[in-house]
Structure 1
């Protein structure tokens, strides 16, 4: 406080000092004042909230205490260079830097630095604003834009896939017809060559197989309205496995399939269910790619009025912290992909009256995704009728 010139003792701070104190105390942005040796002279309330230190703790400390190590190493050089040469690299120029909280956490800040010449010497004023929220929004926007571009490419690939499948089907059909004609020619007359007939037979079978694969791919990618009907589970799962393993590096992966042929039918859109199963099996293959023991298993069975299809792997499992958001859009942890696969898969399952969940695969490690789908109406009604008959018989 100022001394009374008349000798009457201390007086209250001047109006300008009171105003300055009010501004510093109520400012939303952090304000720090340093001397020419970068020692902190003033540290306002916003700075205390921003960095976690009290003003008393940092007063007299080098301002480097508020910086990550890489910034701190360069700071003294910048100050010395300015005082020696007068070259301004930071002063009067706003820039993005990183601050360091008391707990060690780093965060982005927008910094502007000014200079003041005072009776105590040259001082520097730093004004700082936490831009973590803005950077998070910018990052989400960039991700959304990248995902939109990727989805546009996927949509174009879908259309190209359907067109390619259509175009390839025609030459494959011609090849099959030529092979069948060659077979008839080779097997006619007394000099029929049994080995040649066998080879041509194999060629016909492979052409038919290629044609079926292309037809499945075309059904898988083409756009159409959903349809619900009774679907046999075993052939549907096997078809999905063929689609996934086609062209994929599955060497060294042991597949275990526990699916009985006489399982009851489910009420579903076969293409949508294929989409779910293909996604789950592909994820399982990806999960075991980096482990020594590569195992993927698919099983199916009936539980009450539902079909339970389980896809498990021997990979590293799903970290507990990821499980709550695992089925949310754009939350995938893979470096490639949109993070939409599991979200869409669960949505499809729930639209069918079922669900999709994840659990640990057991003692062998890895993860298991459990797809629950309702049985077809006829099967469910028959089971309900059987249960009713049993209760009626017991009551009699």
Structure 2
């Protein structure tokens, strides 16, 4: 180095170490025995482990149990045959945080020789946020398909029938035709309400709170219940979105009354949520596999949307990542709406 020259800090070892330790990606190096030999500081942020804790441990330490056997087999096979059973560039898999929750990561593996030994480096990037956005987009696309189905078929069909019935009524002054027209318009009004409700309830549950099962169920009963039917509910506290929960009940209660002939409905707490039961006529020949599918109904007057809304609400997620407690319905409703 010439006299008076300064060291080039961008070629110093310390500079590259800083890049590795302070980047946005987690970096792990393992040997051919699947033992971790190095982990950078980002590991702490991504998986909750201090890097020193992982050195000497198997890579399966940060891997969900269901993938561990396949991982070991893939490593052994590659070492023996040189055959890769997985794509090494940008493969997306769930990893496991120290507290047990899963983290969606994108992993790129590289192999090289260091100190006379073959080692593998894994560069991992947290893609949980992107995967969640993709899930929401897929959910929205499914909703759009449902709306298209309702508009193109479920609404168009009664609309055409209504026009034809109106023409007959005008030509003949047929009161029965007018009554039929009134029923068709009621059906169309119900379809519109269901579609609007499905649009609202299909959104993700972002926040929950402590609510009384009895209070929410009673409020729903005041809206959708019937004076001739007995109703009761357990009084327990649940973690849920109260508006969504009430919507769920408002769909189940009329279903039991109108299609199942129920004389009594009761809501009871279970170990992981609650169940809605009734003493109606039973499900009969209804296909239980399709019971909650959009558009499925065995009733001539049914829209096939009500119980689908129930499932949509029950499957809502809190915080975008975990199931919302107490939004699991196990309805004993005896027919489909």
Instruction: Report the TM-score range of the alignment, normalised by the length of the smaller protein.
Output: 0.5 to 0.7
Alpha-carbon offset, residue 21 of structure 1: 1.7
Q: 1:31 aligned to 2:35?
A: no
In structure 1, the residue matched to 2:159 is 162
Once residues 222 and 48 of structure 1 are traced to their aligned partners in structure 2, the CA distance between those partners, rounded to angstroms, is 51
In structure 2, the residue matched to 1:256 is 227
Tell me, what secondary structure is at the counterpart of 1:124? strand
CA contact (8 A) 1:255 1:295 kept: no
Once residues 138 and 118 of structure 2 are traced to their aligned partners in structure 1, the CA distance between those partners, rounded to angstroms, is 42
In structure 2, the residue matched to 1:314 is 266
Alpha-carbon offset, residue 173 of structure 1: 8.2
Alpha-carbon offset, residue 28 of structure 1: 0.4
CA contact (8 A) 2:92 2:107 kept: yes
In structure 2, the residue matched to 1:22 is 18
Instruction: Give the one of 161, 183, 202 matched to 1:213.
Output: 183
| TM-score, structure 1 normalization | 0.47
| TM-score, structure 2 normalization | 0.54
In structure 1, the residue matched to 2:44 is 48
CA contact (8 A) 1:32 1:125 kept: yes
CA deviation profile, 1:106-142 (whole Å, cap 9, x unmatched) = 1211011001111241100000111110011011111
Once residues 85 and 320 of structure 1 are traced to their aligned partners in structure 2, the CA distance between those partners, rounded to angstroms, is 48
Once residues 287 and 23 of structure 1 are traced to their aligned partners in structure 2, the CA distance between those partners, rounded to angstroms, is 63
Once residues 148 and 34 of structure 2 are traced to their aligned partners in structure 1, the CA distance between those partners, rounded to angstroms, is 52
Once residues 53 and 133 of structure 2 are traced to their aligned partners in structure 1, the CA distance between those partners, rounded to angstroms, is 33
In structure 1, the residue matched to 2:136 is 140
In structure 2, the residue matched to 1:274 is none
CA contact (8 A) 2:158 2:184 kept: no
In structure 1, the residue matched to 2:91 is 95
Q: 1:336 aligned to 2:308?
A: yes
Instruction: Give the one of 138, 146, 149 matched to 1:150.
Output: 146
CA contact (8 A) 1:113 1:126 kept: yes
Moved more, 79-88 or 144-153: 144-153
Which structure: larger Rg?
1
Q: Which runs of 5+ in 1 are unaligned?
A: 1-14, 178-203, 224-243, 245-253, 259-277, 297-312, 322-333, 342-396
Instruction: Give the one of 72, 75, 79 matched to 2:71.
Output: 75
Q: Which runs of 5+ in 2 are unaligned?
A: 1-10, 194-223, 230-246, 274-305, 314-337
In structure 2, the residue matched to 1:6 is none
CA distance change for structure 1 residues 130 and 169 in 2, over 3 Å: closer, same or farther?
same
- Count of residue pairs brought into register by the alignment: 225
* Higher RCO, 1 vs 2 (CA within 8 Å, ≥6 residues apart): 2
